[in-house]
Structure 1
């Protein structure tokens, strides 16, 4: 019998003309069964809460792991690029890789968004610099308070 059937049985018994003692015992018995089933369901809900919390904690740990690993990779790539540039070479072939430093599009660094002229600010729910416009004008040689170009040189590893 499921919980809803138990509730219906309790309602039916309450409407019958039975001995008060039998009525009370029967209702208490049905209520006990119902309460045990509901307690079990609540226990499952607690289990799911624990699983959700575990998954959220794991996601947070994995995001941090990805962030740390990406930073390590970026620093290592910069080290490789600097070493190849220092040697004055355009390419190095190793046993397992071909290392070719490349010039990528410069990164726009916004030092202080509040110092940017209004033409370089895009208003959304939060204030955000118009990096496309900043890039174009900075690349054209225009000096803009609050932003500058930073070289974006990386090595392609095949």
Structure 2
């Protein structure tokens, strides 16, 4: 997948990018001797190409996940069908040439009809910091011991 024409040095970086650790990749880029403008643009081209590859992989993962889900649903449906058919004829076990099929009891479980009547069984959840409210208070000028606003910086390629 080529988004840009790259010089051979950057094409080599792109070709080996997925096999290298981040530090080794940085060292490889550092070894390329060009002016900062050319180097920055070519590095950004490599980044954009890798981002496009990640997007393609995400789409493929989604497609495969949907396929997996459909197959699992088919398996569940076929198991229900087979169980129902065996129960209709009153059979809990079928011994075939290659497989044995059995219907057996599952471990006991609880079915809850009305959760409001079961207050003594509720479990407390761990406390969680409300960072949105904290940020809003800090932005409003409130002094809060143990917290401060920080401003980070990030790279944007457009």
Instruction: Find the structure with the greater CA-based Rg.
Output: 1
More strand by share: 1
Larger RCO (CA within 8 A; separation ≥ 6): 1
Q: TM-score, normalised by structure 1?
A: 0.49
More helix by share: 1
Q: TM-score, normalised by structure 2?
A: 0.49
